[in-house]
């Protein structure tokens, strides 16, 4: 089975080699970096790695187009290259590579496997209080309004390309963080089998989060808009 790890990055120079070493400690496969035109030396760092290792690939996008857009572009590339499994994860160190094998094993018999931060009550203990509050509110609203009980806003996933149609992953127009929970909503709606594993999330350690207040507000507004469109207007 042909597998690849997809990692979107934006200005993560100090995390590239560090996370690669952690990945290699637990799992060895092809890796593709989707780089949103980083300006801090990330581009040069990945270029060096892709020249050193034949199974590391670098897609450097000319514009900063958003993490959701990066995932969609990366997923399209992986489908074109005929990979069977795509493992998507963040490039900032918050997704521990030790869970990769567990994700792959859980995906047997599933269409897509996602990670759940809420099955372990201590999963978010290293996060700031405000981030924990925002994450829990978002999860509560998605669960209550859309009926999605999964932890749908995370990017640490395993996609079986032989079971999931590419078009069903690209139907989402969102290019930012809202892409993640909206994609799970529509995959759930299309009756795909979604499984999940429990994880804990460490602090990123190096660098800073790219999520802004604008992203958070947009995600909440999109959630309300989708709820009105799907759950209220469609019932009339």
| 11 backbone φψ class: left, alpha, beta (φ>0; ψ -120 to 50) | left
- Confidence check: pLDDT of 235 > 80: no
CA atoms within 13 A on the CB side of 89: 26
Residue percentage of the chain with pLDDT more than 90: 61
Residue 53: pLDDT band (50, 70, 90) is very high
Q: Report which of residues 181 and 206 the model is more confident about.
A: 181
pLDDT in tens, 185-215: 999 999 999 999 999 887 655 656 666 777 7
**pLDDT in the model for residue 135:** 83
Strand, coil or helix: 202: coil
141, 143, 147, 151 alpha-carbon torsion, rounded to 10°: 130
Strand, coil or helix: 156: coil
Mean pLDDT, residues 157-175: 95
**pLDDT in the model for residue 181:** 93
Q: What is the model's pTM? A: 0.90
Residue ranges of domains in the chain, CATH in brackets: 3-128+150-207 (3.90.550.10)
Cβ pair 181, 142 in contact under 8 A: yes
Mean pLDDT, residues 65-70: 91
Pinpoint the alpha helices (H) of the chain: 13-26, 42-52, 67-80, 100-106, 129-146, 166-170, 178-189, 213-227
């Amino acid at each position: 089975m042909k597998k690849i790890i997809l990692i979107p990055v934006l200005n993560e120079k100090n995390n590239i080699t560090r996370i690669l070493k952690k990945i290699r400690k637990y799992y060895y496969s092809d890796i593709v970096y989707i780089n949103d035109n980083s300006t801090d030396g990330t581009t040069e760092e990945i270029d060096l790695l892709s020249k050193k290792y034949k199974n590391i690939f670098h897609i450097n996008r000319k514009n900063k187009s958003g993490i959701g857009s990066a995932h969609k572009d990366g997923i399209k590339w992986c489908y074109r290259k005929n990979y069977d499994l795509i493992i998507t994860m963040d490039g900032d160190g918050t997704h521990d590579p030790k869970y990769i094998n567990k994700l792959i094993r859980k995906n047997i018999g599933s269409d897509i496997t996602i990670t759940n931060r809420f099955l372990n009550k201590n999963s978010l203990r290293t996060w700031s209080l405000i981030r924990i509050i925002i994450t829990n509110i978002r999860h509560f609203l998605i669960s209550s309004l859309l009926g999605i009980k999964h932890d749908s806003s995370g990017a640490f996933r395993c996609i079986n390309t032989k079971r999931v149609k590419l078009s069903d992953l690209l139907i989402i127009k969102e290019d930012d963080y809202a892409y993640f929970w909206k994609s799970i909503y529509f995959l759930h709606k299309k009756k795909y089998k979604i499984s999940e594993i429990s994880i804990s999330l460490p602090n990123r350690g190096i660098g800073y989060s790219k999520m802004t207040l604008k992203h958070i507000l947009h995600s909440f507004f999109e959630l309300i808009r989708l709820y009105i469109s799907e759950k209220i207007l469609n019932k009339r």
